[in-house]
Structure 1
Amino acid sequence: MDELRNTFDALRYGGAMVYPLLVLGVIALVIIFDRAAMYLRSLRMPAALLELIETYGFSWDELDQQLKSLGPRNAYARFFRAIADNRSKPAWWVESRAGDEAGGIEKSLGRGLWVLETIVTAAPLMGLLGTITGMMQAFQVIGGSGLVAPTQVTAGVAQALIATALGLLIALFALFGFNFFSRTQSHALDQMERLGSRLIDHIRLDQESQGGAGIDDKLATSRVGRGAAGASR
């Protein structure tokens, strides 16, 4: 408790710039906690689903069951569902729908990260501004009178150092959060692209096999027709 009280007492000597810096710190914490909860909920990828998609000739019915178990908020389920629901369409159509869904997922995952990026840049600058005002206050005390009050000079220097330290601390905290979420988002999107290619390849194989079966049926029908015509003669 004493250390916490001393910390608040020290912040009071940081000058007016401490308050907007604290606001930026609270905003950064809220965004980090919100994104952490959202990423934990949306980017859950069961090993069974990954193994199923990597399997050659998997069953679409089994994939549907796996996606239902993830729920509608899961980002992987949303992306794979956009492909699975359109598997009867041409492959180029499926790729277009998958790209649109991936864009929506990227926007959802990146919501609020621009604020963290802004805080990374703004917090040190605001701390620097507090440093300048604190040093100006100290120099004003030194040059304003023949007798220098040590406590007033110390207060100005303390204001400069506290504002700088607080701005750097908030910027570092926001930077770590921004880099972590950006890296996690990039990894998830890369995995979606790779696994989506597996699903689209499966769709192409299904369409090719159906097309080959249709051609074989036509050939068999034409042979039967020629045979019947020859018999009638």
Structure 2
Amino acid sequence: MEDTVYQIFLAGGWLMWPLLICSIIVVAISIERFITLKADRIAPSGLLTRVWQQLRDRELAGESLRELRDTSPLGYILAAGISNSGHGREIMKDSIEEAAAQVVHELERFLTLLSTIANMAPLIGLLGTVLGMIQVFADIMLFGTGNAADLAGGISQALITTAAGLTIAIPAMISHRYFERHVESLVVQLEGQATKLVDAMHSDLFRQS
């Protein structure tokens, strides 16, 4: 079985190598994003409640605030807002939005590359097929069509890169769409948590406490 796969790979020509590299990148990115984008790592459950309690107890300042900033992306956003909460609601919101923009940029890391591979892999496969067909027709011009088996074999080899390109592109596209929607869901959670903090810190109850 392994020998057969290897022979098919070699039959596809030199363009199978960049396709192989693309497939490795897709797998690596998918694994890395799956681990990195777990909800509990981005927006830990109960973090906002703990932060609010520390604020009420006047315990969130200095080192505690730096620790919050380093705990998670949500902690980074909340810490940015808290650091500027004394300058008014709008300044606090602006600080949160700036921090959120950085977080979203990190959440979307590698997704553009994943999309690029999904679009590029079929084109590489098609190029390999075109080059293979050119070679087949060149052989026909030189040797004629007397041997149908060799002709069919040459055409099948020319189509290998297209099949390989599609085999890579389809999972890459699925993976990109999945992580894109997952990031959107995480962003909604982060925005919701940050909005609750802003509303709570600028409520009459908090100001009077």
- TM-score (norm: length of structure 2): 0.83
Matched residue, 1:181: 179
Matched residue, 1:142: 140
Whether the 8 Å CA contact 1:141–1:148 is kept in 2: the answer is no
- Give identity over the alignment, percent: 27
Whether the 8 Å CA contact 2:42–2:186 is kept in 1: the answer is no
Match of 1:29 among 27, 30, 33: 27
> Distance in 2 between the 1:67 and 1:176 partners?
39
Whether the 8 Å CA contact 1:138–1:154 is kept in 2: the answer is no
Whether the 8 Å CA contact 1:31–1:116 is kept in 2: the answer is yes
Secondary structure (helix, strand or coil) at the match of 2:188 reads helix
> Distance in 2 between the 1:141 and 1:148 partners?
11
* Pairing of 1:60-209 with structure 2 (within 5 A): 60=55, 72-146=70-144, 148-206=146-204, 209=207
> Distance in 2 between the 1:148 and 1:67 partners?
80
Gaps of 5+ in 1: 214-233
> Distance in 1 between the 2:41 and 2:170 partners?
25
Number of equivalenced pairs: 205
> Distance in 2 between the 1:5 and 1:67 partners?
58
> Distance in 1 between the 2:65 and 2:173 partners?
34
Measured against aligned partners, the alpha-carbon deviations of 1:175-215 in whole angstroms (never above 9, x if no partner) come to 122112111111111111112111101111158744xx9xx
Distance 1:90 1:10, change over 3 A: same
- TM-score (norm: length of structure 1): 0.75
Matched residue, 2:9: 11
Q: Between Structure 1 and Structure 2, whose CA radius of gyration is higher?
A: 1
